[in-house]
Amino acid sequence: MPDPTAQIAFVVKGYPRLSETFIAQEILALEQRGLKLTIFSLRHPTDLITHAIHNEISAPVNYLPEYIHRDPLRVLRGWRTARRLPGYGAAWRLWWRDLARDTTPNRIRRFAQAIVLAVEMDPGIGHVHAHFLHTPASVARYAAIMRRLGWSFSAHARDIWTSPAWELREKLHDSAWGVSCTAAGADYLNALAAPSAAPKVALVYHGLDLSRFPRAGIHPSGRDGRTSENAVRVISVGRAVPKKGFDILLRALALLPQDLHWRLQHVGGGPELPTLMALAQRLGIGARIDWSGYADQTAVLQALRASDLFALSCVVAPDGDRDGISNVLMEAQSQELACVSSALPPIAEFIRDGETGLLCPPGDIEAFAAALTQLMRDPMRRAQMGRQGRIRLESCFHMQHGIAGLAERFGSIGGMLK
């Protein structure tokens, strides 16, 4: 059992965020298991709404100075105190070595945030944990070294695939332990670590809290798109960013047979939303699409229950960014929706091609259109895939499986801190 007296600093990039419900459900579940957490966020929230789960979390939230020029006195006060910390010299030398290889303002800002974190965290905090292995882990690492504390990380997707190898190797070396929510991510990170060492990164699926996503208790609609009254309702959820591949989905929908009736609901915001709306109009399918914008978890659940098929056409973005096991795929399968998605390795860890959904080569518009057509015309196959998806979700991707592993790791930390 976790030591209830052990305090842990959770460093996140932004809090709360609509797109990171997996972090919120983890924090709440760890609190329920007796861990005492304090959240340190590198950014203030930008989403206009939050999920209900955020109101259930009792951990205090502290916002570090996002930009030095906006709060220079706080950073200066922190530096005056931090330079007397036992590990400040080591952190300073490490930061200078990093800065020589990464001369961006971001590197300077992260050290300033680490100074404030190291000085302002409660003296009772005995461990620092970072969600995401890029900037949050940099701040956690520098601050932990200043305070001579252990630190750990949870790695996900962008933080793994867009970070330079030299930085990942050094963070792996310095950290106490780490977890990744995909086998692809864990394998890549462990390959970067010392070959002779035991695996540093464990596979821990963040999973889904099924108490928040109970079965709908309704029968499949049977819609097959033969008439406009029987149009198949397709749903896609996610931020409009390159790695989600929403342009692929739109182009695939435009290739569907003329006699196949359908509607698409997109849930989410994002910087590419106006471009996607314009693309839909150029493709001649704009009238069939409902752009719902940002929505909380309750609204997403209602939208899933009103739909027949889930689609997410993820790709590897030009900068190397890509999705892990997207939470929305798990949410869709919780409602027994068959999924059409991309055969990226992390997605293939969850969706079983031909059993719980159909997977297509990333970026292959024709293949995506063919998969959509198959499942739109075959409601019985969709229903069977949806049922199998829910069974797989319950057996392998329930949140409690991953939380048990995390609580055990944090519990062992508590024992060392006594």
Domains parsed from the chain with CATH numbers: 7-207+398-417 (3.40.50.2000), 228-396 (3.40.50.2000)
Average pLDDT of the chain to the nearest whole number: 93
Query: For the residues 126-145, what does the mean pLDDT come to?
Result: 97
Q: What is the mean pLDDT of residues 38-52?
A: 90
The pLDDT, as a whole number, for residue 5 is 53
Q: What's the rounded Cα separation, in Å, for the pair 16 and 300?
A: 17
How buried is residue 99: exposed, middle or buried, by Cβ count under 10 Å (0-12/13-18/19+)? middle
Confidence grade of residue 416 (pLDDT, cut at 50, 70, 90): very low
At a CB cut-off of 8 Å and minimum separation 6, what does 363 contact?
Answer: 245, 248, 315, 342
| Stretch 46-67: mean pLDDT | 91
Q: What's residue 417's pLDDT?
A: 41
Confidence of residue 412 (pLDDT cuts 50, 70, 90): low
DSSP-assigned states of every residue in 363-390: T-HHHHHHHHHHHHH-HHHHHHHHHHHH
What per-residue confidence (pLDDT) applies to 414? 47
Confidence of residue 183 (pLDDT cuts 50, 70, 90): very high
Please tell me the least confidently modeled range out of 95-99, 252-256, 412-416: 412-416
pLDDT of residue 415: 42
Q: State yes or no: pLDDT of 196 exceeds 70.
A: no
pLDDT band at 220 (very low <50, low <70, confident <90, very high): confident
In the chain, the amino acid numbered 94 is L
CA end-to-end span of the chain, whole Å?
Answer: 14
- What local confidence, expressed as pLDDT, does residue 410 receive? 87
Helix pair angle (88-101, 105-120), 10° resolution: 160
What span, in angstroms and rounded, lies between the C-alpha atoms of 16 and 272? 22
User: Residues 287-294: what's their mean pLDDT?
Assistant: 96
- Position with higher pLDDT, 216 vs 30: 30
**The pairing of beta strand 309-312 with beta strand 232-237:** parallel
Query: According to the model, what pLDDT value does residue 404 have?
Result: 87
